[in-house]
Structure 1
């Protein structure tokens, strides 16, 4: 219940933290490009870049005026697709790291728990809605 009530503010905090993260990545590229590009190619940055676009688009459309401007259907699709894109990006990043270091396993467990919670609440809501329609 608390998460649902405060989801806008949590989303803004998430977007802000990723803005700070992106600023430091840009600084890293500018100050030490040779170390930044070790193990990376421009193509390898595409998934993370798409995730950043989703994060910032979701934050930008979390205001009543911008949400209304894109319409309810587009807003739902953006936030639904964006949340799964973020999950996949984090799961891929932390999954690869967890294979090398046990430090990342708890993060992967939390990600999985969050996904299961989301799926469970979605099914529960659908079941409640369905039982109300028939009962």
Structure 2
């Protein structure tokens, strides 16, 4: 699956030219054939998320504009999990995304939190109507999602 992700990411323009921008661009990593029971495959799935995040991160290493990069995990619906990239864009004045630190909640599944923190990622947890969403990101890479670093 990582080869497929590399192919997709290689087709994205990370040059930083005038027409290069990201308006909540994201890449879903859900594969029904491989991830049927997330409780059994959770660690492998989290590793896949991290490896995919690293593929995108390498592309952004030389991106000359400000950006945000994060892994978004939906606690109730794994098919919604994705790697996100966001930057200034002509579609809306919605950059940067900033969540107040005081809205943060913790994942029900502490394995998710522990694994992501072991990768050096901070997180913001947001209570949603359909379940909780968690955004994991590196506070030292790109523009952080939180108003204060965690």
Taking structure 1 as the reference length, the TM-score comes to 0.29
Larger RCO (CA within 8 A; separation ≥ 6): 2
> Which is helix-richer, 1 or 2?
1
What TM-score do the two structures reach when normalised by structure 2?
Answer: 0.27
Q: Normalized per residue, which structure has more strand?
A: 2
Larger radius of gyration: 1
